[in-house]
């Protein structure tokens, strides 16, 4: 299986793309702060899941990369909260994106708790 076939990866990539689309409307003065940060963190989540999957022959690396991905996902939630508080996104968009991020967090945690289902061998 390719990492692109993982359900978590598909949802992560889709969320990062939604965030990219939405942030194109953020004020120009946010380009190097909020816009840049939320794009970086949301893109980092699928990247680190892909890295984890490729490192699955090393159980500790798999676990470490997935916890990094989970952390980046949490960071994205904080940036979404800032975007909402600054009135750059509506409450509906905020709730939708946050809900997707929470679902993604559950998928990442499923991978962490069930490494054998992703080809990870026990130490």
**For the chain, which domains are there?**
3-115 (1.20.1440.60)
Distance separating alpha carbons of residues 113 and 85, to the nearest angstrom: 34
pLDDT for the residue 123? 63
pLDDT band at 1 (very low <50, low <70, confident <90, very high): confident
Helix residue ranges, H only, the chain: 7-23, 36-54, 59-85, 91-113
- HSE-up of residue 121 (Cα within 13 Å, Cβ side): 3
**pTM of structure:** 0.94
pLDDT in tens, 70-104: 999 999 999 999 999 999 999 999 999 999 999 99
The predicted model gives 50-75 an average pLDDT of 97
């Amino acid at each position: 299986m390719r990492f692109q076939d993982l359900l978590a990866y598909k949802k992560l990539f889709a969320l990062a793309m939604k965030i990219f689309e939405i942030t194109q409307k953020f004020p120009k003065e946010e380009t190097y702060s909020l816009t840049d940060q939320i794009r970086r963190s949301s893109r980092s989540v699928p990247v680190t899941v892909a890295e984890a999957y490729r490192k699955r022959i090393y159980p500790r690396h798999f676990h470490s990369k997935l916890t990094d991905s989970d952390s980046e996902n949490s960071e994205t939630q904080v940036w979404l909260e800032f975007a909402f508080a600054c009135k750059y996104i509506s409450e509906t968009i905020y709730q939708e994106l946050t809900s997707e991020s929470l679902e993604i967090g559950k998928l990442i945690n499923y991978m962490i708790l069930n490494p054998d289902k992703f080809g990870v061998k026990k130490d």
